Amino acid sequence: MVERKRTSSSTRSTAAKPSPVPEIDDATSIPDAITAGVSVELPASADSTLLVATSVDSEAVYSRRHSGVSSTPEPSSMLTDDRLLDVKERPVVPLGWWQRAIFEMTFHTVNPGDSRFWTARKNLTSRIATPIDGDTRYVPVLTRKGGVGKTTITTLLGMAMAQHREDRVVAIDANPDRGTLAERIPRETKNTIRSVVLKAPSIGSFTDFVEFVSRDKTGLHVLASDPDPTLADAFDEFDYNVVADVASRYYSVILTDCGTGIVHSVMRPILQRANALVIVSGGSIDEARLASETLSWLESNGRAELVRNSVVALNTATSGTMLVKLDEIENHFRSRVREVIRIPYDAHIAAGSVITWTKLNKITRDAAELLAAFVVEGITSNE
């Protein structure tokens, strides 16, 4: 039989008796008591005495919890959005079906970037959206032959620019022969370019000016010409300057749909203000010759620099296009101007009614956007 040795109650009470806690007489002695060491005496069987140190540097704790505190009081202006808002950056999702698939399968850890198509697309829209610093830019669209699509090109160019730019774009119909630019977008007002001339002194804000224009869903504004050819023919140099001066207060880009009469009096201020030109040519031999002769006339009248900065829009929807070598026509113009762009046939345009950007063929929209990119590069190249 194993005899168990009992420990007397007096022994247990002696071993378990804690060391005395420092007495605190008043509240002022609390910090001293906290910073004093408390020695805990273990039973006799323990090999050592454990010292529980409660000494804490309160000033060090304060500095750790409040890092970045200014040494001087801060004014309320220091509480800025950039300082206080904890903005979480979201991962940029790549464009392209297989690029997106890789991005999702790797749980957003591998981003292969956009596809070639979307990279080119973003580059094109970025070119169109290039900001314009300084004064308003003027871009006349002209030709010496009617029926080659000058008004259509003006509309497509304006839509492409308005679609991708943050600023405002307006197209002015300065055709003295009853222009039809306003009929290419939904007509919202009966006011015309003549109305602006007559009421120019009362136009004091953008809100006032928009009462005279029609607006497309892309954001393009159009100022119509007079439907009466008699009044339209009376639109002269002085009138155009009045309209251009008023419009320049509110628009960064002013497109001008010119008439076929290049020697008309209104052409003088149009060319004087021009920062770039768009020359429209059809695909037939006589249309190409007239467009080339227009360039020659401009060069001989002191506009050689403007010609070199021009863009030729080659409208391939005109009759006779299938019978000529378009590459040769294009090469001819490339030797004289900065860029040449082909505008393809589009059944939506051929109807001769209102042009809706979303109803155009993709190849037509691409051509219009490329034309817009060329034009923007020309009007921002000297900045």
The answer as to whether 2 is a domain residue is: no
Residue among 363, 283, 281, 286 nearest 326 (CA):
283
Q: Which two tokens stand for residue 177?
A: 């022969």
pLDDT tens-place string over residues 14-33: 444 555 555 555 545 555 54
The answer as to whether 71 is a domain residue is: no
Confidence at residue 4, expressed as pLDDT on a 0 to 100 scale: 46
Question: Distance of CA 271 to CAs 110, 139, 366, Å?
Answer: 53, 9, 28
The DSSP bridge pattern shows strands 278-282 and 221-223 to be unpaired
Judge if 272 and 199 occupy the same domain. yes
Per-residue pLDDT at 53 exceeds 60 = no
**Starting at the edge strand that comes first in sequence, how are the strands of the sheet with 169-173 ordered?**
214-215, 221-223, 169-173, 253-257, 137-142, 278-282, 311-315, 339-343
Judge if 150 and 283 occupy the same domain. yes
Q: Which residue has the higher pLDDT, 78 or 305?
A: 305
pLDDT, averaged across the chain:
82
Q: Can you tell me the distance from the alpha carbon of 171 to that of 270, in angstroms, rounded to the nearest whole number?
A: 13
Q: Can you tell me the distance from the alpha carbon of 296 to that of 304, in angstroms, rounded to the nearest whole number?
A: 9
Confidence at residue 314, expressed as pLDDT on a 0 to 100 scale: 94
Judge if 255 and 343 occupy the same domain. yes
Q: Of 124-128, 140-144, 174-178, 248-252, give the lowest mean pLDDT range.
A: 174-178
pLDDT tens-place string over residues 255-277: 999 977 777 788 999 999 999 99
User: How many domains does the structure of the chain reveal?
Assistant: 2
Judge if 108 and 160 occupy the same domain. no
The answer as to whether 25 is a domain residue is: no
Q: Which residue has the higher pLDDT, 229 or 182?
A: 182
Per-residue pLDDT at 130 exceeds 50 = yes
Q: Which range of residues forms the domain containing residue 120?
A: 91-128
pLDDT tens-place string over residues 320-343: 777 789 999 999 999 999 999 999
The answer as to whether 35 is a domain residue is: no
Q: Can you tell me the distance from the alpha carbon of 36 to that of 49, in angstroms, rounded to the nearest whole number?
A: 17
Q: Can you tell me the distance from the alpha carbon of 259 to that of 267, in angstroms, rounded to the nearest whole number?
A: 9
Judge if 171 and 261 occupy the same domain. yes
Judge if 112 and 157 occupy the same domain. no
What's the chain's Rg over C-alpha atoms? 39
The arithmetic mean of pLDDT across residues 214-236, rounded, is 82
Helices (H), 67-110: 81-84, 97-105
Q: Which two tokens stand for residue 92?
A: 């940029």
Band of the pLDDT at 67, cuts 50, 70, 90?
A: low
* Region at 48 (left for phi over 0; alpha for psi -120 to 50; beta for the rest): beta
Confidence at residue 12, expressed as pLDDT on a 0 to 100 scale: 47
Confidence at residue 168, expressed as pLDDT on a 0 to 100 scale: 95
pTM above 0.75, yes or no: no
Gap between the terminal Cα atoms of the chain:
109
Q: Of 130-139, 147-156, 183-192, 315-324, give the lowest mean pLDDT range.
A: 315-324
- Using the 3D structure, point to which of 75, 100, 128 is the last residue of a domain: 128
Judge if 115 and 255 occupy the same domain. no
Rounded-to-10 torsion of CA 289, 290, 296, 298? -160
Per-residue pLDDT at 34 exceeds 90 = no
Residue among 246, 233, 241, 304 nearest 273 (CA):
241
Count of residues making up the chain: 383
SS3 content of the chain, % helix, strand, coil (to 5): 45, 10, 45
pLDDT tens-place string over residues 77-125: 888 877 777 776 777 777 777 777 777 787 777 777 777 777 788 899 9
Q: Which residue has the higher pLDDT, 10 or 101?
A: 101
The arithmetic mean of pLDDT across residues 38-62, rounded, is 52
- Using the 3D structure, point to which of 102, 128, 154 is the last residue of a domain: 128
The fraction of the chain above a pLDDT of 70, given in percent, is 79
Per-residue pLDDT at 132 exceeds 70 = yes
Judge if 101 and 199 occupy the same domain. no
SS3 (DSSP) at 214: strand
Judge if 164 and 226 occupy the same domain. yes
Q: Which two tokens stand for residue 212?
A: 């005279």
Q: Can you tell me the distance from the alpha carbon of 85 to that of 80, in angstroms, rounded to the nearest whole number?
A: 8
- Using the 3D structure, point to which of 79, 110, 128 is the last residue of a domain: 128
The answer as to whether 227 is a domain residue is: yes
Judge if 165 and 110 occupy the same domain. no
Confidence at residue 58, expressed as pLDDT on a 0 to 100 scale: 57
Rounded-to-10 torsion of CA 155, 157, 160, 163? -60
Q: Which residue has the higher pLDDT, 167 or 323?
A: 167
Judge if 196 and 313 occupy the same domain. yes
Per-residue pLDDT at 243 exceeds 90 = yes
E strand or H helix that includes residue 139: strand 137-142
